[in-house]
Structure 1
Amino acid sequence: ILRLERPNAALPAILTDRSGMMVSPTNIKQNGANADQSPVGTGPWKLESWRNNDRFIARRNENYWRPGLPHLDGINVAIMGEPATALRSLIAGENDLATSLGPQQKLLADRSKLTTQLTHSMGMVGIYLNYGRPPLSDVRVRQALNYAIDRDAFNQAIAMGLDVPTSAIIPSEHWACDPQTASYYKYDPGKARALLAEAGFPNGIDIPMLGWSDQISMQRQEVIVTQLGRAGIRVALTPVSPSASSTMFFGSAKQGAGRMAQIAARPDPSQEYDNLFSKDAYFNAGGVELEGYRELLDATMAITDRAARKAAFAKLQRFVVETALLVPIVFNTSINVHHPRVKNFVAGLIAKPKCTTVWLDS
């Protein structure tokens, strides 16, 4: 039984994700920290084997609570860090499905006898900001960062125009998005320079940032750094692994003023806002909550009527966009490729593929 201090209309959606995953208390008692390597839950699959950074194999859970599912006898997931490698394995017939491919792989997939599925997602490329200390504690500097990004040019250069430029953290396909502020920041390096001058940086500003060191991320970051530089924002980028950049930026060290990264999606938009901007949120590096934010966030969860929630989200979205608490750049388009015999594969807005209802045409 969950007893809440106040209404939370987001809770049902939140419980459909990691927060609502059921685990065996007995398994945790017996295996402790290693319980995740021998999981016991209520999902559609049973883990058969797992090799770190290589693959895991799961078999059908005959006792799954949804009768008749899953359709497949099992899944064999090969972990491949490079999208090109994943696509080659698919073309060679070694695998049936490859997820989260890049635009470059789409060109090759389109020339093969494979099925390509494009789905807009809530997953996003952006820049986390530590606005708990100077210089990003000044809203004008944060706004300058947003005006300095040419989102359309970034989309063409990195995603061949397949991604969706944005100034907000909720995509236009989502019922909670307010189109009036979704494209709030138009590319304007002159305005960015003027804002920096108002903030006391007439000759531009130097900002240390963390990034990811993989090839795709480095390409993205090169474009971002170049665009920011044209507006007088000189970025000293430190590229490291995703996990290292997370620890360095959000952990006790609080390194860097910004962090270029992929920003994951959440099932309910109020959870997305809460995880990013609430005072005690892990992804709020500065630990600062702006005045007025809490009331706006609570209003999105206090009611269940969708139209009323949409109106509440519009106010919250405007607040976050105008105060520039983040630098959203593009929403990723999820590119998934599979053999024609794979049926009923669906990738939703939160870009987390599920194979529960997938079946193979013999």
Structure 2
Amino acid sequence: MRRIALTAVSAALMLSAAACGSGSGSGSGKAATGGTLTLAPLVAAQPWDLADAGLGNNAQYYQPVYDSLFRLSPTAEVEPNLATKWSYDAARTVLTLTLRSGVKFTDGTALDAAAVKTNLLHTKGGTSEAAGQLAGISGVDVVSATEVKIRLSAPDPSLVPNLGNVAGMIASPKAIAAGTIKNTPVGSGPYSLDKSATTAGSTYTFVRNPGYWNKAAFPFDKIVLKPLTDPTAVLNALRSGQVNGALLASAKSITPAKSSGLTVTKFTSGDVEGVYIWDRAGKIVKALGDVRVRQALNYAFDRDTIVKTAKQGLGKATTQIFNPAGAAFDSSLNSTYSYDPAKAKQLLAEAGYPNGFSVTVPDVSSVFPDQQAAMVQQLEDIGIKVKVDKIPVTQFISALLAGKYPLSYMTLASFRPWDTIQIEVGKSTLWNPLHTEDSKVTDLIDKARSATGATQDALFKQLNTYLVDQAWNAPWDSVEAVYATTKGVTFTPQTFAAVPPIYNFKPAG
């Protein structure tokens, strides 16, 4: 699933791995400076056009080629990158950036303020997750070749850090204008796509950009991306040295990974998994339009047992979609829905569904068999009949975004509170595919947008409390991710990230 935002199921229905060879790219599992780093994202590559770009696991496809306006530290602090200075006006609706001079795209075009303007407006015009993070931009003014002013329709509490991720990546305006960017990425980043060593859907090879301004931050001469969606295939690739770093989507892979001599690192990914209720207005399944039914779903799930068994302890039970590290999170809300099938059945009866109802969900068993089994069994335990639609994994994300299913298992990214709101709460956000609207939700969002400090934090908590009470979703847990690496490579986990960015990988030693 893509972590949304996706990493989208935004962020997690598919899998991310890293592989490294020697300096000659032998695939021995040992890396030296100048060698090859191979990553196997959990998700298939999206188009190279940043207007179509997702977040989470998708970011690794874009990071080799496209540089971003800011760089995020491992603790998600904003640092200079293409933009060297930045400041807001008093109203926080105009952001002024000073750009690094002398940077060029690999097609020779200058990376200047005009290029930044072209990119921000182009990406904003898209329909995917990166576009959603730029939705508040009302205009971009070119002041000089190295100065640009970004105008906002209202304050955006997360704009600056988001410009350090995919939303702030800059592609060649020449390639955008020609329309070739969808098939061939052209950026100013540390690498460029080697099309002769690339096979769409299976292998993406990136070689050094000799003109990159910050080569020292990227020690590998080559980056290779090999998407893998099967947990067994990922483990086998790690063991054989075909890849030397991978996100272990199945907790069952941890013990064999350790026994094979792999280094296993646990970290908080910022994802929240569980059952996401897309049809809160009852457009597909009428019953879901009743808050009592949605609350019944929340009482149906034994979160602690799911974490213990399906996740083998990798997560912390929660009823909230907001990241535990963020200001919106309230630990007291986690006691709102205890595991109580009898209470769930009572609520269904009160809502007029004493015999339950039927619901169709997309199949995720090829990647998350334990989670799907838990979802189906515990829904059926309260009388809800579940039909599993056996769609291909490659169609999962597009089907959800098209509003085909009333609910599903899903993992979505939860970063800063405002990011979560932009990803899945607002009426027009990407992961609100059936465009649920609630006047109180809208009012709290509008108030939080313009507030700052403690006042804003309090509004985030009010919104979170309301969403839990209204049972907008049925979250299970805040995800603890597990990343396995071979002896040849080390990495630093990244706060608010499903997988480490490529610039956090180094050759061991």
Q: 1:210 corresponds to which letter in structure 2?
A: V
Cα separation, 2, equivalents of 1:100 and 1:347: 16
Contact 1:128 1:259 in 2 (8 A): yes
Residue number in structure 1 paired with 2:471: 324
Contact 1:211 1:261 in 2 (8 A): no
Cα separation, 1, equivalents of 2:392 and 2:174: 34
- After TM superposition, the structure 1 stretch with the greater mean CA deviation from structure 2, 128-137 or 35-44, is 35-44
Contact 1:211 1:221 in 2 (8 A): no
Residue number in structure 2 paired with 1:341: 488
Change (3 A) 1:113 1:243: closer
Residue number in structure 2 paired with 1:128: 276
Higher RCO (CA 8 Å, separation ≥ 6 residues): 1
Report the secondary structure of 2:287's partner residue.
coil
Cα separation, 2, equivalents of 1:9 and 1:173: 16
Q: 1:351 aligns with which of 478, 481, 498?
A: 498
Report the secondary structure of 2:390's partner residue.
strand
Residue number in structure 2 paired with 1:75: 223
1:153-302 residue pairs with structure 2 within 5 A?
153-203=305-355, 205-251=356-402, 254-263=403-412, 265=413, 267-302=415-450
Structure 1 residue 105 corresponds to structure 2 residue 105: no
1:82 CA drift (Å):
1.5
Change (3 A) 1:162 1:357: closer
Cα separation, 2, equivalents of 1:176 and 1:63: 43
Cα separation, 1, equivalents of 2:296 and 2:321: 18
Q: 1:58 corresponds to which letter in structure 2?
A: F
1:155 CA drift (Å):
1.6
Cα separation, 2, equivalents of 1:238 and 1:35: 34
Contact 1:274 1:297 in 2 (8 A): no
Residue number in structure 2 paired with 1:10: 158
Contact 2:491 2:500 in 1 (8 A): no
Q: 1:118 corresponds to which letter in structure 2?
A: K
Cα separation, 2, equivalents of 1:356 and 1:132: 43
Cα separation, 2, equivalents of 1:239 and 1:278: 30
- After TM superposition, the structure 1 stretch with the greater mean CA deviation from structure 2, 4-13 or 93-102, is 93-102
Cα separation, 1, equivalents of 2:417 and 2:210: 34
- After TM superposition, the structure 1 stretch with the greater mean CA deviation from structure 2, 12-21 or 223-232, is 12-21
Q: 2:187 aligns with which of 33, 38, 41?
A: 41
Contact 2:327 2:417 in 1 (8 A): no
Q: 1:159 corresponds to which letter in structure 2?
A: K
Cα separation, 1, equivalents of 2:456 and 2:210: 39
Structure 1 residue 29 corresponds to structure 2 residue 177: yes
Report the secondary structure of 1:76's partner residue.
strand
Change (3 A) 1:165 1:65: farther
Report the secondary structure of 1:127's partner residue.
strand
Task: Compute the TM-score of the two structures, normalised by the length of structure 1.
Answer: 0.89
Report the secondary structure of 1:244's partner residue.
helix
Report the secondary structure of 2:216's partner residue.
coil
Contact 2:361 2:388 in 1 (8 A): yes
1:192 CA drift (Å):
0.8
1:267 CA drift (Å):
4.2
Contact 1:250 1:285 in 2 (8 A): yes
Instruction: For structure 1, list consecutive stretches of 5 or more residues without a partner in the other structure.
Output: none
- After TM superposition, the structure 1 stretch with the greater mean CA deviation from structure 2, 116-125 or 92-101, is 92-101
Report the secondary structure of 1:136's partner residue.
helix
Residue number in structure 2 paired with 1:140: 292
Report the secondary structure of 1:276's partner residue.
helix
Q: Kindly report the root-mean-square deviation, in angstroms, between the aligned alpha carbons of the 2 structures.
A: 2.3
Cα separation, 2, equivalents of 1:172 and 1:335: 18
Change (3 A) 1:328 1:114: same
Instruction: For structure 2, list consecutive stretches of 5 or more residues without a partner in the other structure.
Output: 1-139, 141-149
